[in-house]
Amino acid sequence: MSDPATLAALHRACFAEPWSADAFAALLAAPGTFALQSADGFILARVAAGEAEILSLGVIASARRGGQARALVADAAAQAHRHGATAMFLEVNQHNAAARALYDGLGFREVGRRKGYYRANPPEDALTLRAELPLPAR
């Protein structure tokens, strides 16, 4: 079982607008929601009605570009597939080139856009990405 306080601490180390331990606890209490952790990162995902969604993924800055995010996504996709998901979705900032390259390399493709999804000045769009499960072998 994932610890909401640990997940909140990792989220705080990764993002400018961190989620609280209470928020993680509420999400993890929902059916089909699960979290995985690495040494310096985490992924939060859920499975429902044959589809999976990545809710949040983060790796602390000093550990980025070391393969942890790729491993977390692959492991979450495998777990989601074992629980009946045939596709996985996520949103990513249109300007996050590193994340987009990661997801592209794992087989995710753009299927939509959410205008102004990310609060910024000016607001930034999110790309909705989808991959068939299981993910292609590495």
- Dist. CA 114–CA 90, nearest whole Å: 11
pTM more than 0.85: yes
Asked if 138 and 78 touch (Cβ cutoff 8 Å), the reply is no
| Dihedral angle computed from the Cα positions of residues 14, 46, 78 and 107, in that order, rounded to the nearest 10 degrees | -70
**What local confidence, expressed as pLDDT, does residue 2 receive?**
87
Write out pLDDT tens, residues 45-104: 999 999 999 999 999 999 999 999 999 999 999 999 999 999 999 999 999 999 999 999
Helix (H, G, I), strand (E, B) or coil at 124: strand
Round the average pLDDT of the chain to a whole number and report it.
96
Q: How confident is the model at residue 1 (pLDDT cuts 50, 70, 90)?
A: low
